[in-house]
């Protein structure tokens, strides 16, 4: 009997996909529509045509985890993450718009980093953390290949090769509680234990990862 019911379940799901906004997390986005929207909504003007921004102020999005982009746009939309620009940009996006745009940018070829950027202190913290001060290794969540490990409910973003000053600004914002949208405040707890010099070292090291050699 089970063999009979399973396929029927799949057929029903395919014919009647969940459409309620609360199901946006599981809605697959349409990359082609996302591309058109990201142009008409002017996202590309700051973040670049495929999500590789040239300005340090605007984070790179190309190849970022779709689940992470979706969560951030939802947080900007609701005000859980504060940014004057992005709260306005996300205000009128529907859950479907968000899913489509996230799918478009995440499917673009991944960005690369700044070849000359390196910091040994940053590398140590990223790979090993500091046990004595209860600082976990960043790589344990963000992935050793800095690709953004967890794609599920609490996606950890790809951070390797991101703009240096953007990374430093975000870590300072977590530390000062100006950004408070991480699950269980995990990033606030970690950033609070980092000195300003360690934040700079981490941003330096991370921005150099995935550089084209």
Instruction: Pick the binder of ligand HEC from 41, 49, 56, 189 (CB under 6 A).
Output: 41
DSSP secondary structure code for residue 17 in this structure: -
x-or-dash string of contact with ligand HEC, 95-114, rule CB under 6 A: ------x-------------
CA dist., res. 87 & res. 95, Å (int): 15
57 binds ligand HEC (CB under 6 A): yes
Which residue reads 């609701």 in tokens?
78
Nearest CA-CA partner of 19 in 123, 95, 105: 95
| Beta-ladder partners of 135 | 130
Residues 6 or more apart from 107 whose CB is under 8 A from it?
31, 63, 66
Residues 6 or more apart from 5 whose CB is under 8 A from it?
none
Report the site for ligand HEC in 13-32 (rule: CB under 6 A). Answer: none
Which residue reads 């002017």 in tokens?
42
The region of 13-21, 23-31, 109-117, 176-184 touching ligand HEC under the rule CB under 6 A is 176-184
Backbone angles phi, psi at 57, to 5 degrees: -75, -25
Report the residue number, 23 or 57, with the smaller CB distance to ligand HEC: 57
168 binds ligand HEC (CB under 6 A): no
Instruction: Pick the binder of ligand HEC from 72, 119, 188, 207 (CB under 6 A).
Output: 72
Query: Which residues are at the interface with ligand HEC (CB under 6 A)?
Result: 38, 41-43, 45-47, 57-59, 61, 69, 71-73, 83, 85-86, 89, 101, 125, 135-136, 138, 140-142, 154, 156-157, 159, 167, 170-171, 181-183, 186-187, 190, 202
């Amino acid at each position: 009997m089970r063999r009979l019911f399973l396929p029927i379940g799949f057929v029903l799901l395919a014919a009647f996909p969940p459409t309620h906004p609360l199901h946006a997390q599981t809605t697959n986005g349409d990359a082609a529509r996302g591309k058109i929207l990201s142009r008409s909504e002017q996202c590309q003007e700051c973040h670049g045509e495929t999500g590789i921004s040239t300005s340090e102020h605007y984070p790179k999005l190309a190849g970022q985890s779709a689940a992470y982009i979706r969560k951030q746009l939802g947080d900007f939309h609701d005000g859980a993450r504060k940014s004057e620009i992005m709260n306005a940009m996300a205000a009128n996006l529907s859950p479907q718009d968000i899913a489509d745009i996230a799918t478009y940018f995440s499917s673009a070829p991944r960005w690369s980093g700044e070849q000359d950027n390196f910091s040994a202190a940053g590398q140590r913290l990223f790979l090993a953390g500091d046990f004595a001060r209860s600082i976990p290794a960043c790589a344990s969540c963000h992935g050793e290949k800095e690709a953004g490990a967890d794609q599920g409910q609490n996606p950890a973003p790809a951070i390797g090769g991101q703009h240096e000053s953007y990374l430093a600004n975000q870590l300072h914002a977590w530390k000062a509680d100006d950004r408070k949208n991480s699950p269980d405040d995990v990033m606030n707890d970690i950033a609070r234990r980092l000195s300003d010099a360690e934040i700079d070292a981490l941003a330096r090291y991370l921005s150099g990862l995935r550089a084209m050699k």
